[in-house]
Amino acid sequence: MPVRIGIAGIAGRMGRLLAEEALAAGAALAGGTRREAGAAAGLPAPVLPDIGALFAASDVVIDFTHASAAAAHVAAAAAAGRPFVLGTSGLSAEQEAAVAAAARQVPIVYAANFAPGVNLFLAIAERMAAALPPEQYDAEIVEMHHRQKVDAPSGTAVALGRAVARGRGTTLEAAGTESGRDGHTGARGTGSIGFAALRGGQVVGEHTLLFAAASEHIALTHRSFDRRVYATGAVRAALWLQGKAPGLYDMKHVLGMA
Ligand SMILES: NC(=O)C1=CN([C@@H]2O[C@H](COP(=O)(O)OP(=O)(O)OC[C@H]3O[C@@H](n4cnc5c(N)ncnc54)[C@H](OP(=O)(O)O)[C@@H]3O)[C@@H](O)[C@H]2O)C=CC1
Ligand SMILES: O=C(O)C1=N[C@H](C(=O)O)C[C@H](O)C1
């Protein structure tokens, strides 16, 4: 029996690609959700009435929708006892706490970015940060995305910031962040992590991590040219979750990089 994959937000940019990639991976499409149920024109699977109905029809659900839906979606996963893949970005601390709580009952992969290259980038970022003293090397993260993106900084930029903080033996909250600089900002804080977000055109996703010291700069950049790379990774995560124990997993677990 093929694994039945349900897709929350099936009509979205990612939702449509997830449906294609699920079928390409040999899975069955259980259905999808939209904010207004029923409008299924041109979609490869039925639009079910709500997230509960989607979980009831699915072995695993993949969600690339909106942060405001995350808490209800993870609660539905826990209520149904089904695994869940969450790719949505822009979650608040409270919404992330809801994800962690649900992961005590069901297995969840929650990843800021499902591209293999980005997950290698995150591992390298942590090592770079551990090697470069924060008193000398200022960490700045610059990202650019398409004009439709609704959250900033991107989930991947935040994950890079967290990786830098981990490498420095601290947390993003404790290190401090600087974003959206404008006007009389004062001098840059030592050890804080800077974020800058650019929006325009149809850029799929670009992230640069820069360490800037007085006498040298070192930067690492990742560019995605096709958002299908995220869909392939998310479907891989959904299949990987079959039979897993409850817990909060990341793409590094799926890729064997943990
Ligand atoms: N982790 C990763 O690797 C990646 C993450 N993302 C993230 O995935 C998310 C979606 O991106 P993208 O596909 O480009 O966005 P889209 O806006 O194209 O699609 C999102 C879909 O979710 C549905 N939706 C919107 N708001 C809600 C809501 N409040 N409740 C339920 N469903 C909702 C909409 O469905 P409808 O209009 O039919 O109601 C919409 O089609 C973003 O957070 C983005 O950052 C994107 C790419 C990669
Ligand atoms: O909204 C997007 O498009 C993307 N969102 C994710 C993020 O916020 O990091 C991943 C990728 O950059 C594309």
Q: Residue 7 and residue 43: Cα distance in Å, rounded?
A: 11
- Whole-number pLDDT of residue 107: 99
How far CA 16 is from CA of 11, 29, 229, in Å, comes to: 6, 12, 13
pTM for the predicted model, two decimal places:
0.98
Burial of 35 (0-12, 13-18, 19+ CB in 10 A): exposed
**Can you tell me the mean pLDDT for 33-46?**
85
- Atom number, ligand 1, closest to the C-alpha of residue 51: 31
For CA atoms 54, 58, 64, 68, the dihedral sign is positive
Residue of minimum CA distance from atom 42 in ligand 1: 88
Share of the chain above pLDDT 70, in %: 100
- The pLDDT of residue 36 is 87
pLDDT at 115: 98
38 pLDDT more than 90: no
The span from the CA of 217 to the CA of 30, in Å, is: 49
Q: Is the CB of 88 under 6 A from ligand 1?
A: yes
Ligand 1 within 6 A of CB of 227: yes
Is the pLDDT assigned to residue 170 strictly greater than 90?
A: yes
Do residues 242 and 3 touch, judged by C-beta distance below 8 A?
A: yes
- Does ligand 1 have an atom closer than 6 angstroms to the CB of 12? yes
Mean of the pLDDT values across residues 230-258? 97
* pLDDT, mean of residues 241-258: 97
Which domains are delineated in the chain? 4-114+227-254 (3.40.50.720), 116-224 (3.30.360.10)
The predicted model gives 133-137 an average pLDDT of: 98
What's the pLDDT at 58?
98
Per-residue pLDDT tens over the stretch 57-66: 999 999 999 9
Pocket test for ligand 2, best of 66, 143, 154 (most atoms within 8 A of CB): 154
Indicate the pLDDT class of residue 144, thresholds 50, 70 and 90.
very high
pLDDT at 40: 72
pLDDT band at 41 (very low <50, low <70, confident <90, very high): confident
Average pLDDT across the chain, whole number: 97
pLDDT on residue 242: 98
Among 66, 114, 225, residue to substitute to test ligand 1 (most atoms within 8 Å of Cβ): 66
The predicted pLDDT at position 37 comes to 73
pLDDT of residue 183: 98
What's the gap in Å between 19 CA and the centre of ligand 2?
Answer: 18
Is 37 or 135 the better-scoring residue by pLDDT? 135
Catalytic residue (choose from 145, 207, 222, 253): 145
